[in-house]
Amino acid sequence: MRLCSFHFIDFFERKVFDFIRKFKLIKRGESVLVAFSGGKDSLACLLSLRSIADEHGFNVSAYHIDLGINGYSYTMRKYVEEICGELGVTLHLTDLKEKYGFTVEEASKKRKRPVCSVCGIVKRYLMNRETRELGYNKLATGHNMDDMIEFAFKNWLNQEFEWLAKQKPLLPQLHPKVTPKIKPLFERTEKENAAYVTLKGFEYPLNECPNTYLSGWKEVASKIEEMKTGFKLMFIKSLEKFSYPLRQGDFKVCSLCGEPSSSEICAFCKVKTAKI
């Protein structure tokens, strides 16, 4: 499809709106917290939800975690603060070092685990906890179609079927302390998100986290798409239907912080209390 700026923006927002309705991601009167890292996908998520919020009858705010990553976090935090100020969006912010006394890179060295693995633990923990404690109904993330295909390839090959089954547009509340998570851009591509924010008149930081690791799966999916047009969309629609029995009710609560955990002490507390 060839669209002018005006009609592309309209097309994109209508697609997001229809997707939210189709999968019942947000109910009227709910409050949604958008995980806003400052990247193009989270910006596309924030802007598109904000543009349809009134019509759909919900509220949108933003949440940012300053992970303390050298040469990266400072820029992203400044950008997020600037955009939220410009848009008049309420921003909730957690400074990891200030509040919990460590950065993800420091914790990675202490725990002797890859920094992205520690970062994932920290983000999942804080996003869930803050969304619930701040009184929001849903946490929205900017995961796009290309991200989801990459996750699916990796998890399928590692036989992580339960993890794969959780990669849905809506992950419902499996425990009273676990906030429902939504992915409104599940069927939007990385390119569409970049075009949308640019055509809306926003620039976004192009610097990537220095710990970024490229798995190569996105390129594989794009090669298949070149050979078989429509592959990505068909794949993502299959992922929406994929099911596998999820463990329910075997969440414990962490003996240190009281947050949901599958073991006596949660992964976040293990990271926080790690010694060199």
| Contact residues: ligand SF4, CB under 6 A | 104, 115-116, 119-120, 209, 211-212
Q: Based on CB atoms, which residue is closest to ligand SF4, 212 or 248?
A: 212
Which range binds Zn ion by CB under 5 A, 96-104, 140-148, 215-223, 256-264?
256-264
257 sits near Zn ion (criterion: CB under 5 A): yes
Q: Which does 115 bind (CB under 5 to 8 A by kind): ligand SF4, Zn ion, none?
A: ligand SF4
For helices 231-241 and 217-227, angle between their N-to-C axes, nearest 10 degrees: 120
Which range binds Zn ion by CB under 5 A, 35-43, 112-120, 180-188, 267-275?
267-275
**CA-CA-CA-CA dihedral for 120, 126, 127, 131, to nearest 10:** 170
274 sits near Zn ion (criterion: CB under 5 A): no
SS (H, E, C) 76-94: HHHHHHHHHHHHCCCEEEE
Query: Shortest approach of ligand SF4 to residue 113 CB, angstroms?
Result: 11
Query: Shortest approach of ligand SF4 to residue 151 CB, angstroms?
Result: 13
Contacts of 98 (CB under 8 A, 6+ apart): 66
- Cα–Cα–Cα angle for 152, 194, 75, nearest 5°? 95
Radius of gyration of the chain (CA): 19
Lookup: tokens for 259: 């947050």
Helix-strand-coil percent breakdown of the chain, rounded to 5?
A: 50, 10, 40
Q: Based on CB atoms, which residue is closest to ligand SF4, 211 or 222?
A: 211
Which residues does residue 35 pair with via DSSP β-bridges, in sequence order? 63
CA 26 remoteness from chain centre? 16
- Amino acid letter, 185: L
Q: Based on CB atoms, which residue is closest to ligand SF4, 46 or 209?
A: 209
Binding to Zn ion by CB under 5 A, coded x per residue (else -) over 202-241, reads ----------------------------------------
Query: Shortest approach of ligand SF4 to residue 215 CB, angstroms?
Result: 12
Judged by the rule CB under 5 A, the positions of this chain that interact with Zn ion are 254, 256-257, 266, 269
